[in-house]
Amino acid sequence: MIKILGHAIKYIDRSDVRYVALTQVHARLAKKDSTIWGPAAQAEASVRLNWIDLPESSRDLLPALDALYAKHRDKSNVVLCGMGGSSLGPEVIAQSFKKKLFILDSTDPDYVAHALKGDLAKTVVVVSSKSGSTIETASQRALFEDAFTQAGLAPHNHMVIVTDPDSPLDKQSRAAGFTVINADPNVGGRFSVLSAFGLVPSALIGVDVSVLLDNASDAKTAFLKDSTLVVDIAYLLAYHAGQYLSYTDDGSAMPGLSDWAEQLVAESTGKDQVGRLPVVIEKAASNANVFSVAYAGSADLVVEADLAAQFIIWEWVTALVGAALEIDPFNQPNVTEAKEQTSALLKEWGGVLPVFTAPHTDGAVEIFGDGADVCHALATFIQGIHKDGYVAIMAYLDRKDEAKISEIRSLLSEKIGKPVTFGWGPRFLHSTGQFHKGGQQNGSFLQITGTPSTDIAIPGQIFGFKTLVAAQALGDGKALASRKYPLLRFNLTNRSAGIDQLLGAVKKI
């Protein structure tokens, strides 16, 4: 049962010509019309619309998924190596069904070390990548192949590959004897939660994915019969909301859904400087300048539906909003910038992380920016925020043991009265990273890096994870700095002490 509630419902005008136009787009989308988003987008759209069919077409995977679960039912530790769309969907499914799944979507060696701590004999690793060329996933795959081999275990008995058919990863993996499950190649990563990318790890942790598909199909049937269920949402986001949308999971029993929606909406709409930036907040809150979205309780827009229904609803709505904003929701033209900068730095460094000397050091925090101490650096940074702007906090840290740093988001937002997003690096590069460069040009960026307690070698590379994560942070910093955005980096020489110091400084400003 899908219900749409909220304070903003009164602003829906179904006689508005823009609403009528969206209804027409909805009908064309149901027919997979690739011309919806204009001539420039048609080539991309023509090979990116099979997500529409996934609630039904993914049923073809069920026998293979049943066999996969049976094969690995003796393994109690499931690790997913994937980024962005390959990991955010499975993470919310696991959390919502209270299942154990370790998401390895980081290159921080302190975080990577957690994935290696389990009993490898009882571990199955899912490597998810459309092509296999994503540097994070390729590095993690090499790491686990080596780890299993060193433990006297056959990697092909403990690893499952999810990729597009005939991709380089597909060919390499099949030749090496790995189990490979192919995903539909005509589905983009952030629309792939109901494909093999979302369903393989979900099946391995014991989720009944056939129920997910049934629920998604029922939701699709409902809004194809009654277009107002999705057109109302798209109309509000496109024409009543502004740049900022707050999302909260509070009270929904679907933890992580907002993080999944953040990537979907930010990466799909954040281009041509007209996007919608989701701000994931911990608790429902009211802000006159931010359109609020929730899945339960009270907000400008409340979308009540089960998890699988939420997936297909928000994918559909995002496609409609793309049409309303006149952008291509299926490309991500700015994501490659950070990748290219990372590659350039790794080549420049020759695999050895240089020593960087900060202009100022305050306790456990090195300050790369203006300000002799943390408080002054923050004050100077805040002065440079655009009057209609936002702050993006990007933490290249251990999101398991150092989750406390995420408290900085709400603390800073309350202090400055502006939207503040929080992203774990390098995960956000496959999410809000597109919006940072392609959306409205009014962001200010706070990077938080940290000296790792260890380094982990990457088999086959001349650099380890410590060097890789540094190159990703500094590479993205260079991409942002080239646009003359306000940019401040804090490097924590002692992570625990540095986190406490930063939180304390924000409270003082």
Q: Check whether 139 has a pLDDT greater than 80.
A: yes
Residue 129, CA distances (Å) to 110, 219, 373, 399 in order: 23, 28, 42, 22
Q: What are the φ/ψ torsions at residue 36 (nearest 5 degrees)?
A: -55, -40
What b/e readout covers 229-243, taking b as 16+ CB neighbours within 10 angstroms? bbbbbbbbbbbebeb
- DSSP per-residue codes, 457-474: B-TTSSSBHHHHHHHHHH
> Do 119 and 77 meet the contact criterion of CB atoms below 8 Å apart?
yes
List the one residue out of 204, 223, 227, 203 whose CA is nearest residue 213. 203
Alpha helices in 97-160 (DSSP H): 109-115, 135-150
Residue 139, CA distances (Å) to 129, 135, 462, 475 in order: 12, 6, 12, 18
pLDDT in tens, 217-250: 999 999 999 999 999 999 999 999 999 999 999 9
Q: Is 63 helix (H, G, I), strand (E, B) or coil?
A: helix
The Cα 104–Cα 137 span in angstroms is 9
The Cα 258–Cα 40 span in angstroms is 30
pLDDT in tens, 494-508: 999 999 999 999 999
Q: What are the φ/ψ torsions at residue 172 (nearest 5 degrees)?
A: -65, -45
Other C-beta atoms lying within 10 Å of the C-beta of residue 509: 15
Q: What is the pLDDT of residue 30?
A: 98
Q: What is the pLDDT of residue 335?
A: 86
β 443-450/277-280 pair status: unpaired
> Percent helix, strand, coil in the chain (nearest 5)?
50, 15, 35
Q: What is the pLDDT of residue 447?
A: 98
Mean of all residue pLDDT scores within the chain: 97
Q: What is the pLDDT of residue 289?
A: 83
> Do 141 and 163 meet the contact criterion of CB atoms below 8 Å apart?
no
- DSSP per-residue codes, 216-239: HHHHHHHHHH-THHHHHHHHIIII
Q: What is the pLDDT of residue 338?
A: 87
List the one residue out of 190, 81, 84, 87 whose CA is nearest residue 427. 84
Q: For residue 170, what are its two tokens?
A: 């597909």
pLDDT in tens, 257-270: 999 999 999 999 99
Task: Kindly indicate the confidence band of residue 457, based on its pLDDT and cuts at 50, 70 and 90.
Answer: very high
> Do 314 and 283 meet the contact criterion of CB atoms below 8 Å apart?
no
Q: What is the pLDDT of residue 188?
A: 95
The Cα 208–Cα 177 span in angstroms is 27
List the one residue out of 400, 358, 362, 379 whose CA is nearest residue 444. 379
Instruction: Please name the amino acid found at residue 393.
Output: I
Q: What average pLDDT score do residues 142-161 get?
A: 98
Instruction: Please name the amino acid found at residue 392.
Output: A
Q: For residue 351, what are its two tokens?
A: 């695999």
Q: What are the φ/ψ torsions at residue 346 (nearest 5 degrees)?
A: -60, -40
Q: What is the pLDDT of residue 275?
A: 96
The Cα 335–Cα 322 span in angstroms is 18
Only one residue has tokens 């597109």, namely: 434
Residues 6 or more apart from 201 whose CB is under 8 A from it? 78, 80, 90, 94, 101, 126, 128
Torsion of CA 359, 424, 49, 219, to 10 degrees: -150
Q: How far is CA 291 from the centre of its chain?
A: 21
The Cα 35–Cα 29 span in angstroms is 10
By mean pLDDT, which of 1-5, 131-135, 238-242, 442-446 is the weakest?
Answer: 131-135
Q: In what order do the strands lie in the sheet with 3-5?
A: 3-5, 301-304, 291-294, 244-248, 277-280
Q: Give Rg (Cα) of the chain.
A: 22
> Do 26 and 320 meet the contact criterion of CB atoms below 8 Å apart?
yes
Q: What is the pLDDT of residue 61?
A: 98
Task: Kindly indicate the confidence band of residue 288, based on its pLDDT and cuts at 50, 70 and 90.
Answer: confident
